[in-house]
Structure 1
Amino acid sequence: MDGELFPRERAEIAPGAVHLPDWLGPRAQRELLAACREWARPPAGLRTVHTPGGGTMSARQVCLGLHWYPYGYARTAVDGDGAPVKPMPRWLAELGRRAVSEAYGTPPEQMEEYDIALINFYAGDSRMGMHRDAEEKSRAPVVSLSLGDSCLFRFGTTSSRGRPFRDVPLRSGDLFVFGGPSRRAYHGVPKVLPGTAPPGLGLDGRLNITLRVGGLGP
């Protein structure tokens, strides 16, 4: 944010968990938002996710590459309209590898190809409970990009949904990467801060674009 007293800096939140503020500039944010709006259109568009226990996730979701549902992956929107999932764009996969390279200093050519994207839309009252990204066979880092309203991102340990955890404010354009010993850490979003999106972005609410390597085979 312009004019703040202490500019935000790169921070390691836990071993293998790195926060890079303002990683996406205004133009890149607008371009990614425009792409998300296209992906959210049917078929296999933005949907409400229902859990096996009868609950409903307050954040709505669209998937690329493979379709995530509680708790697995499919090639069609099995809990939506049943249409084939949209493909993972090459440019988005490359963005994921560049994110990991800048977070860890690893050459992109040494990384696996990112082949799954989960895009969650949070309205002002949406939340995400503590959970682990555990359906993938690959241990490649998870890449998380934020657009729109700021949020509190809660990052815990691999052993418990409860304490200890850290609440990290994430703003539009921020990058968060977690891998290595933190790859299976519990994390969630306890709060979205409505009205905090950049005025020029044109988004009410928050979009979280999460990139993953499935390692699930053909």
Structure 2
Amino acid sequence: MSERIFITGIGTGVGKTVAAACITEALQADYWKPVQAGLTEGTDTQTILRLVANGVSVCHPEAYCLDTPASPHLAARLENITIDINVILAQANELQPPLRPLIIEGAGGLMVPVNEEIFTLDLIRQLHARVIIVATNYLGSINHALLTARVLQHTGVPVIGWIFGGDYHSNEDDVVRWSGYPKIGHIPQTDHVDKAFVRQQAQLLTASLHTLLA
């Protein structure tokens, strides 16, 4: 199974990286974050390396690493760097594993600008990836979740389903019903994310992922 799965969120800080780690572990996939903005607390790739334990997955280096914790287009502008989408697409082709999925983690949500012209949504389409949406419950999250779903529906981007995080809330069932996209699973809130936690959550996600990817 060789395909591209793009992890996007309904906003920033909704748990994309932990979800990406669990999905990478569950599918024994490779991981790649094309653009990392903000290096103070380390990179998301370093986090995935710390959390994934299957011995098969490969974490590929970023196409662009930016110091400024901001949207990629703004970080690049402040650092006098040009983010070239063709560079990202070429690297995706070079590192795509022949027998495993490639998990691609985006920055924030669909309408985050990657550069001065291209948004994350456009990048997903050019990568020919299917999407997993990561959401968590907060005031306004239903609106953000359904706006995300509506944009994907209107642009025809294929969606695998939802992964919810944090404490369970009945809003999850409402979002699934209103969006029409299935629920892959729920990753509970924890103060200690480590290999054991990721392995446990990966096991719980594996059946749903394989069913929806079939």
More strand by share: 1
Q: Which has the higher contact order (CA 8 A, sep 6+)?
A: 2
TM-score grouping bracket, smaller chain normalisation: under 0.3
- What TM-score results when the alignment is normalised by the length of structure 2? 0.28
- What TM-score results when the alignment is normalised by the length of structure 1? 0.27
More helix by share: 2
